[in-house]
């Protein structure tokens, strides 16, 4: 695992004494007084006090595994067999100096020439003078298809066209440029919150001083007085933290300039999404060109593999890497790939081909061990090939020889997937197997907490009843008649109960293990069985379990010994597998892994805050599980704090999934839970997996983020990896790249299939390289960038104060945009905000990330909730992070009943709501149906079969099954959305102007948040200001 700290670590590691890492005249005038951090309010620390006590690079890695716990041979560590004497691995033990290489170019001396140091006041003055003419400019139409898409949609910029003619320039209404008045205690950009009328009646009762209410950071709908009392003053204070605050405010604020602001004048994510859909949706996208930017993740199209991996498997932050590390440092654009190796491919796209070379196994480069792929160049009449990754010349094995045609291409090019496709699989040989033995099919062990609460809530019976039918649907290979997966059952409270369910038994037998200090497995034969063979015994057991513990009054539970037991059982059976654990409470019983409540709000935002770090014993347990191919899926039903950070780490490290149902109520929450369980059990996964990412010369993978475990710097280990899990990989230069050769990436995942076959899944992608920064910016993908920023920041908070992590994100945003402005845009006034076309919605996403619960340290947000979201996002792919950080808001009052088309989403802001409408909001975890106070009766009738809004119960978590066309249409939309998401969302019905609306409003990410987060407009102001400072 890379020992590097957070992405921008060097900014601080190279810091000058007393300047908190910002070299003089380069960073914000006062880095401590930073934007949007609610906790910096009123503190106004002196420059130089911002110093982390946490050393950089201490990103909480844990020491190596104890000897012997990992059963892979050295060979397997390298993702497959290698030949003795030829182990020249580029990735072996990168020199320490490389590891210390800045993740990101820093605010450091090197960069200073680019941004000459000037007294920041001059920038401010300049800004103040030109505020009224501030422009947002989408940088001209460019030649790549993707940028054509976005820039070809001028509707997003509705202002007047201004010179120079080569750029699309749009003047923002003066409101945006108006700085907050210096004498305003709130220090707010008042102009972004125009009169109440703008909220179209969405506000609750208008407060006596409505303008002040809004200024003090209240979310729209601020009619909730308790909330005002709680958050008002603090939020107001937080607004002081705009870096340097806009100067010259009062004069600017006065007079007619305080116009109604047109939100359409700033870049709209919806327009970017919709124009890409219009341009590329429904079409065939062939991956035949290196460095080609794929359609957005929100665009439906048919992908044809023609030599590079489908964007379903790999998406990159940019499809053109800068040629040198100096150039990369200048731009500070993260170079990363988000790899979702088991992504689901729709039925109208080709499934992966499997290549089988029998006992010979896959063909690999002798030197770098890269697998045969389209990047290998055949020479000497086809007798040898040059490796595209390390340039080594290899002999072609005799059995693989083929003549070349006049272009130098093998005659069998299109007959062999490994020569012509970006993605394919190899059947692995024994060399690739644990202990050189063919693997057994994986096993699923169901482990049910049968303590008083779970029995009493009906959960135990619910799980048992569901399993009776669900076990028939265990995943199987296409050609298999039934699933090869073995199943086993354990129940527990303070002790463990194992069950013998051998098919020959008439009744299941229970064995109790009460020594939980050192768990042993009381039976081998009969614990793991084939469901089909033992069906009657298993059904019998599932019938009996709820009865068996019906009279329990045991309320204490264990947890770590449960996982230990599951892992030992898999180990004893010599197979990989998954544990499905159904648990409710903090494990307080006397046993290893006993937890206590360590949720101390007093430590919030202090260096002592360790709420995200797991207890060491859990981390060790997690690593042990990975070493034994044991993946842990945790379904947790908490009523209070349960230390998700500790309990969840086992799930996270083992590639498992964490499902959380707060205050579980059988009636209201069963549908969500059962749907999650069904989906999870049916998922296709790879087991006992090791992933390795190889690159062509000049750059290499340096950091990895995901539900993974690493014991060295190169091997990404996952006890299991399913279709929804993505690993984000960061790359760094270690030499110059070559524009002709490009930057090639090969991801190989060695795994055991559900039928017990050892396989290699290979994904290849080629990117371009350029010495022109403009090429790099042109091919950026904002959705992938946000995935990277979220995961790297969520990892960084383990070792760095939240505040610093947040500042780094803001600084980096400004830096990337300033570098573009300086090097790629045509000359224009400093006051113009110019955004690269491919990054024009980066600020709105970045602002949403900054407002996420994980990055906002507020006592109101439960610690477990933050730890939970942190874990979920860390494993997400690009589509999931896109939706999570920019929820979909669909107008339902304008449904076209005749077409199948889902209505286009609107921007995530209260302004887009209307009291006569109904809207669906979805972010992948939450789902709301918002109903306006004047929603037409036909609409209410159609959805709910009641005459008016007042008759609708907001307790309901699903819609009534009605025969009305409206209801059916809505149902089909919900089903469609849900089918594509890994987590089942519980529907919450929210009526305008009622209390639960507060929760709903938090998801309107373009607006100010109740936790002090800025509106999109304010954030854009802030970023623009930082850019001006960097440029001055
Ligand atoms: Zn090679």
Looking at 683, 700, 728, which one is the last position of a domain?
Answer: 683
Tell me, yes or no, whether 548 lies in a domain: yes
Separation of CA 367 and ligand 1 centre (Å): 5
Q: Provide the CATH number for the domain around residue 346.
A: 2.60.40.1670
Tell me, yes or no, whether 562 lies in a domain: yes
CATH of the domain at 998: 3.40.20.10
CATH classification of the domain holding 833: 1.20.120.730
pLDDT tens readout for residues 909-940? 999 999 999 999 999 999 999 999 999 999 99
pLDDT score at 513:
94
Considering the domain architecture, whether residues 634 and 766 belong to the same structural domain is answered as no
Residue 428 or 896, more confident: 428
Going from the Cα of 339 to the center of ligand 1, the distance in angstroms, rounded, reads 21
Q: Are residues 904 and 759 in the same domain?
A: no
How many whole angstroms from 351 Cα to the centroid of ligand 1?
27
Is 349 exposed, middle or buried (CB count within 10 Å of its CB: 0-12, 13-18, 19+)?
middle
Residue 254 CA to ligand 1 centre (angstroms): 67
* Least-confidence region, from 145-149, 794-798, 896-900: 145-149
Task: At 501, list the tokens.
Answer: 């369910």
Ligand 1 centre to CA of 765 (Å) is: 15
* Strand 284-286 relative to strand 486-492, pairing: unpaired
Cα(81) to ligand 1 centroid in Å equals 14
- Asked if the structure places residue 540 within a domain, the reply is yes
Distance 774 CA to ligand 1 centre (A): 31
Per-residue pLDDT, 1012:
81
For residue 529, the 8-state DSSP code is E
Residues with CB under 5 A from ligand 1 (ion): 365, 367-368, 370, 387, 389-390, 392
Q: Same structural domain for residues 952 and 846? A: no
Residue 64 located in a structural domain: no
User: Ligand 1: distance of its center to the CA of 91 in Å?
Assistant: 12
d(CA 792, CA 881): 13
- Kindly state whether residue 170 falls inside one of the protein's structural domains: no
d(CA 92, ligand 1 centre) in Å: 14
Interval between CA 695 and ligand 1 midpoint (Å): 9
DSSP assignment of 214-276 equals HHTTPPS-TT-HHHHHHHHHHHHHHGGGSTT--TTHHHHHSGGG-PPP-GGGS--HHHHHHHH
Distance (angstroms) between ligand 1 centre and the Cα of 697 equals: 9
Ligand 1 geometric centre to CA of 381 (Å)? 20
Q: How far is the CA of 389 from the centre of ligand 1 (A)?
A: 5
Tell how far the Cα of 693 is from the centroid of ligand 1, in angstroms: 13
Q: From ligand 1's centre to the CA of 415, what distance in Å?
A: 23
Domain extent at residue 823 = 780-885+1011-1031
Q: 69: CA distance to ligand 1 center in Å?
A: 31
728 C-alpha vs ligand 1 centroid, how far in Å?
A: 23
Task: Identify the weakest region by mean pLDDT among 11-15, 131-135, 374-378.
Answer: 11-15
Alpha-carbon distance 616 to 440, whole Å? 31
pLDDT at 745 over 80: yes
pLDDT in tens, 303-359: 999 999 999 999 999 999 999 999 999 999 999 999 999 999 999 999 999 999 999
- The residue to which tokens 């958050």 are assigned: 231
Distance 74 CA to ligand 1 centre (A): 19
Q: Token match 């904002």: residue?
A: 782
951-981 residue pLDDT tens: 998 888 888 889 888 899 999 999 999 998 9
Ligand 1 centroid – CA 78 distance (Å): 14
| Cα gap 174→321, rounded to integer Å | 38
Report if residue 253 sits inside a domain: no
d(C-alpha 83, C-alpha 366), whole Å: 8
Q: How many angstroms is it from 1015 CA to the middle of ligand 1?
A: 50
Q: Are residues 591 and 627 in the same domain?
A: yes
Answer yes or no: do 340 and 486 share one domain.
Answer: no
| Residue finishing a domain among 623, 652, 683 | 683
Q: Which of these ranges, 190-204, 534-548, 741-755, 772-786, has the smallest mean pLDDT?
A: 190-204
* pLDDT above 70 as % of the chain: 74
Residue 286 falls inside a structural domain: yes
Buried/exposed code over 213-248 (b: 16+ C-beta within 10 A; e: otherwise)? bbbbbbbbbbbbeebbeebbbbbbbbbbbbbbbbbb
Q: How far is the CA of 820 from the centre of ligand 1 (A)?
A: 35
Same domain assignment for residues 815 and 899: no
Are 290 and 428 members of one domain? yes
From 725, 746, 773, give the residue that closes a domain: 773
d(CA 882, CA 674): 26
Sign of the alpha-carbon torsion through 454, 458, 464, 470: negative
Percent of the chain with pLDDT over 90: 64
**C-alpha span between 539 and 482 (Å, rounded):** 18
Taking the centre of ligand 1 as the mean of its atom positions, its distance from the CA of residue 36, in whole angstroms, is 48
Name the pLDDT band for 1000 (thresholds 50, 70, 90): very high
Task: Please report which confidence band the pLDDT of residue 608 belongs to, taking 50, 70 and 90 as the band edges.
Answer: low
Instruction: Tell me which of 87-101, 539-553, 723-737 is least confident.
Output: 87-101
103 or 613: whose pLDDT is higher? 613
Query: Of the given ranges (75-79, 272-276, 408-412), which has the lowest mean pLDDT?
Result: 75-79
Q: Is 386 helix (H, G, I), strand (E, B) or coil?
A: strand
CB 434 within 8 A of CB 76: yes
Whether residues 1024 and 980 fall in one domain: no
Residues 457 and 585 grouped into a single domain: yes
Question: Is the domain of 620 the same as that of 664?
Answer: yes
User: pTM to 2 decimals?
Assistant: 0.79
CA distance 213 to 202: 14
Distance between Cα 733 and ligand 1 center (Å): 18
Sorted by sequence, the CB contacts under 8 Å of residue 994 that are 6+ apart come out as 954
Ligand 1 centre and the CA of 293: distance in Å? 26
CA of 379 to the centre of ligand 1 (A): 15
Choice among 82-91, 762-771, 810-819, 861-870 with the minimum mean pLDDT? 82-91
Q: How far apart are CA 167 and CA 960, in angstroms?
A: 52
- Asked if 726 and 815 sit in the same domain, the reply is no
Least confident of 57-66, 494-503, 558-567, 686-695: 57-66
Q: How far is the CA of 706 from the centre of ligand 1 (A)?
A: 27
Q: How far is the CA of 102 from the centre of ligand 1 (A)?
A: 27
Asked whether residue 195 is domain-assigned, the answer is: no
Compute, in angstroms, the gap from residue 303 CA to the centroid of ligand 1.
28
CA of residue 878 to ligand 1 center, whole Å: 30
Distance 386 CA to ligand 1 centre (A): 8
Same domain for 520 and 471?
yes
CA of 392 to the centre of ligand 1 (A): 5
For residue 428, the CA-to-ligand 1 centroid distance in Å is 19
Gap from CA of 384 to ligand 1 centroid (Å): 13
Domain total in the chain: 4
Asked if residue 89 has pLDDT above 90, the reply is no
145-188: pLDDT as tens digits: 333 333 333 223 333 333 332 233 333 333 333 333 333 322 22
- 159 C-alpha vs ligand 1 centroid, how far in Å? 53
Q: What is the CATH number of the domain that holds 477?
A: 3.40.50.410
Write the pLDDT tens digit of every residue in 450-485: 999 999 999 999 999 999 999 999 999 888 889 999
Q: How far is the CA of 702 from the centre of ligand 1 (A)?
A: 19
Could you tell me the distance, in angstroms and rounded to a whole number, from the CA of residue 790 to the centre of ligand 1?
Answer: 33
């Amino acid at each position: 695992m890379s020992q590097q700290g957070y992405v921008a670590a060097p900014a601080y590691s190279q810091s000058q004494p007393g300047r908190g890492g910002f070299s003089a005249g380069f960073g914000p005038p006062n880095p401590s007084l930073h934007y949007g951090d609610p906790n910096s309010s009123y503190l106004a620390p002196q420059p130089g006090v911002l110093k982390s006590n946490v050393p950089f690079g201490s990103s909480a890695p844990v020491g190596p595994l104890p000897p012997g716990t990992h059963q892979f041979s050295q060979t397997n560590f390298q993702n497959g067999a290698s030949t003795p004497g030829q182990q020249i691995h580029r990735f072996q033990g990168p020199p320490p100096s490389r590891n210390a290489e800045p993740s990101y170019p820093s605010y450091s001396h090197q960069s200073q020439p680019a941004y000459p140091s000037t007294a920041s006041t001059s920038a401010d003055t300049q800004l103040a003078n030109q505020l009224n003419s501030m422009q947002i400019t989408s940088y001209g139409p460019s030649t790549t298809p993707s940028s054509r898409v976005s820039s070809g949609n001028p509707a997003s910029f509705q202002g007047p066209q201004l010179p120079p003619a080569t750029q699309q320039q749009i003047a923002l209404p003066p409101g945006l440029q108006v700085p907050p008045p210096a004498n305003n205690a709130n220090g707010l950009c008042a102009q972004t919150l125009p009169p109440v009328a703008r909220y179209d009646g969405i506000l609750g009762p208008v407060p006596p001083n409505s303008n002040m209410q809004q200024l003090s950071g209240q979310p729209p709908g601020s009619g909730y007085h308790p909330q005002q009392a709680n958050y008002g003053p603090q939020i107001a204070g937080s607004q002081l933290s705009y870096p340097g605050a806009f100067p010259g405010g009062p004069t600017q604020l006065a007079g007619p300039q305080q116009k109604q602001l047109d939100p359409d004048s700033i870049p709209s994510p919806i327009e970017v999404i919709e124009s890409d859909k219009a341009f590329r949706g429904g079409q065939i996208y062939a991956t035949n060109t290196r460095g080609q930017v794929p359609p957005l993740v929100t665009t439906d199209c048919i992908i044809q593999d023609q030599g590079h991996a489908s964007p379903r498997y790999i998406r990159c932050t940019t499809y053109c890497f800068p040629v040198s590390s100096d150039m990369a440092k200048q731009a500070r654009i993260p170079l990363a790939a988000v790899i979702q190796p088991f992504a689901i491919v729709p039925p109208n796209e080709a499934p992966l081909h499997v290549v089988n070379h029998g006992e010979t196994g896959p063909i690999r480069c002798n030197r770098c061990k890269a697998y045969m792929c389209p990047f290998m160049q055949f020479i000497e009449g086809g007798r040898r090939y040059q490796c595209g990754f390390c340039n080594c010349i290899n002999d072609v094995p005799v059995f693989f020889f083929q003549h070349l045609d006049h272009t130098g291409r093998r005659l069998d090019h299109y007959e062999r997937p490994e020569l012509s496709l970006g993605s394919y699989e190899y059947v692995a040989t024994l060399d690739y197997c644990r202990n050189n033995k063919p693997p057994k099919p994986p096993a699923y062990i169901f482990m049910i907490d049968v303590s008083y609460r779970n029995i009493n809530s009906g959960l135990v019976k619910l799980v048992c009843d569901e399993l009776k039918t669900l076990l028939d649907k265990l995943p199987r290979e296409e050609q298999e008649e039934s699933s090869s997966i073995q199943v086993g059952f354990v129940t527990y409270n303070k002790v463990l109960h194992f069950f013998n369910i051998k098919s020959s038994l008439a009744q299941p037998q229970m064995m109790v293990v009460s020594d939980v200090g050192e768990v042993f497995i009381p039976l081998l034969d009969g614990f793991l069985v084939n469901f089909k063979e033992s069906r009657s015994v298993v059904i019998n057991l599932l019938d009996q379990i709820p009865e068996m513990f019906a009279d329990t009054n045991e309320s204490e539970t264990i947890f770590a010994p449960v996982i230990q037991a599951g892992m030992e059982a898999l180990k004893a059976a010599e197979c990989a597998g998954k544990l499905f654990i159904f648990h409710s409470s903090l494990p307080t019983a006397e046993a290893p892994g006993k937890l206590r409540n360590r949720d101390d709000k007093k430590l919030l935002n202090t260096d002592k805050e360790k709420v995200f770090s797991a207890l060491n014993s859990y981390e060790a347990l997690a690593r042990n599980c990975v070493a034994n191919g044991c993946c842990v899926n945790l379904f947790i039903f908490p009523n209070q704090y349960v230390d998700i950070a500790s309990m969840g780490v086992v799930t996270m490290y083992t590639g498992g999934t964490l499902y959380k149902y707060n205050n579980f109520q059988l009636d209201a929450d069963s549908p969500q839970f059962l749907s999650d369980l069904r989906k999870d059990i049916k998922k296709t996964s790879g087991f006992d997996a090791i992933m390795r990412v190889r690159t062509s010369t000049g750059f290499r993978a340096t950091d990895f983020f995901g539900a993974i475990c690493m014991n060295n710097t190169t091997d990404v280990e996952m006890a299991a990896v399913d279709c929804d899990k993505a690993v984000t990989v960061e790359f760094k230069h270690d030499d110059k790249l070559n524009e002709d050769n490009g930057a090639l990436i090969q991801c190989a995942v060695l795994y055991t299939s559900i039928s017990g076959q050892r396989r290699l899944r290979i994904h290849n992608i080629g990117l371009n390289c350029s010495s022109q920064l403009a090429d790099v910016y042109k091919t950026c993908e904002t959705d992938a960038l946000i995935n990277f920023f979220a995961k790297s920041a969520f990892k960084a908070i383990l070792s760095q104060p939240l505040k610093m992590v947040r500042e780094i994100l803001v600084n980096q945003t400004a830096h990337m945009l300033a570098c573009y402005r300086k090097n790629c845009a045509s000359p224009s006034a400093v006051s113009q905000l110019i955004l690269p076309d491919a990054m024009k919605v980066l600020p709105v996403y970045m602002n949403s990330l900054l407002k996420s619960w994980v990055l906002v340290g507020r006592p109101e947000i439960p610690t477990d909730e933050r730890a939970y979201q942190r874990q979920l996002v860390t494993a997400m792919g690009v589509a999931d992070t896109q939706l999570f950080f920019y929820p979909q808001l669909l107008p339902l009052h304008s449904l076209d009943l005749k077409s199948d088309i889902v209505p286009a989403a609107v921007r995530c802001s209260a302004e887009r709501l209307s009291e006569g409408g109904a809207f669906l909001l979805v972010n992948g975890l939450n789902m709301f149906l918002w109903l306006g106070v004047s929603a037409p009766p036909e609409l209410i009738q159609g959805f709910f079969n009641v005459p008016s809004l007042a008759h609708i119960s907001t307790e309901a978590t699903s819609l009534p099954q009605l025969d009305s066309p409206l209801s059916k249409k809505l149902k089909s939309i919900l089903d469609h959305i849900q089918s594509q998401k890994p987590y089942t969302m519980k529907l919450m019905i929210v009526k305008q102007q009622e209390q639960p609306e507060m929760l709903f409003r938090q998801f309107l990410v373009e607006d100010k948040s109740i936790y002090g987060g800025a509106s999109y407009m304010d954030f854009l102001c802030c970023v623009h200001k930082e850019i001006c400072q960097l440029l001055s």
